[in-house]
Amino acid sequence: MTCNNPWQPSSGDFRRYFGSTFASEEEYPELEIQSCLCDAMLECRPCVFRGYYRRALYHLTAHFLTLWRERQNSTELDSTGSAASASKGVISSVSVGDLSLTMEMPEYSSSSDDKFLASTIFGQEFIRLRNKMSRGSLLARVPLVGNPGCGGCL
């Protein structure tokens, strides 16, 4: 599987970037990493992230890959019998007597894209990089001024 982009990231480079985190080819198959890389390349543009492009692309890929792996490992079943993702969030309160645990998603913005990205540490880093490169959301799917070849970005 190949992606149409001037810089071709590779699954080997992705694995080296994150060290041992995604090193297991059994746990993270080559085809799945390539698929997540291609998906991330649709959302992340070099013209926006410039020098941070590789980092942003790999963190978004890691976000997609982490969610894929969680779906594969999930033991919870929904009403149709398919795997459902476990709840995510940051622990906001804990009780010991009669055990109570409250989890909340970190506040980034009210957009559903940010809430989706905030569900993993890799997505949170992608948000940080995106915000660093822009002072607003890059969700508009319109060409950027002076660079009509660069469409909207996540």
pTM above 0.75, yes or no: no
50: nearest Cα among 108, 152, 129, 127 = 129
Residue 139 lies in a domain: no
Torsion of CA 22, 57, 139, 84, to 10 degrees: -10
Residue 38 lies in a domain: yes
Which residue type does 58 have? Y
What pLDDT is attached to residue 110? Answer: 54
**22-54 residue pLDDT tens:** 999 999 999 999 999 999 999 998 888 888 999
CA end-to-end distance (rounded Å), the chain:
22
- What domain range includes position 100? 11-74+86-133
Token pair 């149409």 is at which residue? 4
Number of separate domains in the chain? 1
Residue 20 lies in a domain: yes
| Alpha carbons 137 and 67: distance in angstroms, whole number | 22
56: nearest Cα among 69, 75, 37 = 37
